Amino acid sequence: QPVLTQPTSLSASPGASARFTCTLRSDINVGPYRIFWYQQKPGSLPRYLLKYNSDSDKQQGSGVPSRFSGSKDDSTNAGLLLISGLQSEDEADYYCAIWYSNTLVFGGGTKLTVL
């Protein structure tokens, strides 16, 4: 089982919200880990969105709108990325990552379609 699991795809309508999940393997407790989120549009380099550990330990990427936010769900052992007020330009691949056991582990990515 991979360290991080992300749904392959997600679709939502313009103006709606999109909720991305990044589920940690069952033997890894999400509690202590900072969850990093990146956005990658086709043909472009990845863009850092934010990192989230707790409400007192979080960082928004430079120039990233506040409609992008992070959180955790202890009940599902997952990191979450929420995008509110979806725009067509948000259509992209979204990757989560954690620094785990001296490695940076990426999730497989979720492709967001805004339709």
Partner 1 sequence: EVRLVESGGALVLPGGSLRLSCAASGFTFSSYEMIWVRQAPGKGLEWVSYISSSGSTIYYADSVNGRFTISRDNAKNSLYLQMSSLRAEDTAVYYCARDLGVFWGQGTLVIVSS
Which residues contact partner 1 by CB under 8 A? 36, 38, 40, 45-48, 61, 93, 95, 97, 99, 102-109
Q: In whole angstroms, give the CA distance from residue 52 to residue 91.
A: 22
What is the DSSP annotation of 28-74?
A: S-STTPPEEEEEE-TTS--EEEEEEEETTEEEEPTT--TTEEEEEET
Q: Which is nearer to partner 1, 9 or 13 (CB)?
A: 9
39, 58, 101 from 47: Cα distances, Å: 5, 17, 24
Measured from the CB atom, is 90 or 106 closer to partner 1?
106
Shortest separation between residue 13's beta carbon and partner 1, angstroms: 26
Q: Is 10 helix (H, G, I), strand (E, B) or coil?
A: strand
Query: 80 or 107: whose CB is closer to partner 1?
Result: 107
Residue 95 C-beta: closest distance to partner 1, Å: 5
Compute the least distance from the CB of residue 115 to partner 1, in Å.
Answer: 22
Minimum CB–partner distance for residue 49 and partner 1 (Å): 10
Say if residues 12 and 110 touch (Cβ distance below 8 Å): no
